[in-house]
Amino acid sequence: MSMISNEEINRMRWASRRGMLELDLVLEPFVVARYAALDERDRQRFQQLMVCEDQDLFAWFLGRQQPEDEELRAIVGKVLEFTLTAPGDR
């Protein structure tokens, strides 16, 4: 696993700050706790996720819809799994 720069993590933390509090509460904790441990492919998926519309992200994270794109579905699943895990078990 290659080392992830603090600059990249900070860039993703900034990207995870959205226009909706609900998204902020899902995305930023994931970046802080898990982003550095993701493999290259999942980091690319997460970066792809960050260019999606807030309305789409909101629907995906509420489980109302799933992304059509298989790559996005994979990273949405990882973020949801993290989010649904009790903080003490993360």
Per-residue pLDDT of the chain (90 residues; tens, 9 = 90+): 457 899 999 999 999 999 899 999 999 999 999 999 999 999 999 999 999 999 999 999 998 999 999 999 999 999 999 999 988 888
Q: What is the extent of the structural domain holding 79?
A: 6-89
How far is 47 from 44, CA to CA, in rounded Å? 5
Q: Residue 1: its pLDDT value, please? A: 47
Q: Residue 86: its pLDDT value, please? A: 87
Residue 65 within a domain:
yes
Angstrom distances, CA of residue 82 to CA of 36, 58, 90: 14, 16, 7
Residue 22 within a domain:
yes
What is the number of structural domains in the chain? 1
Residue 1 within a domain:
no
Which CATH number does the domain housing residue 14 bear? 1.10.150.250
Q: Rounded to two decimals, what is the model's pTM?
A: 0.91
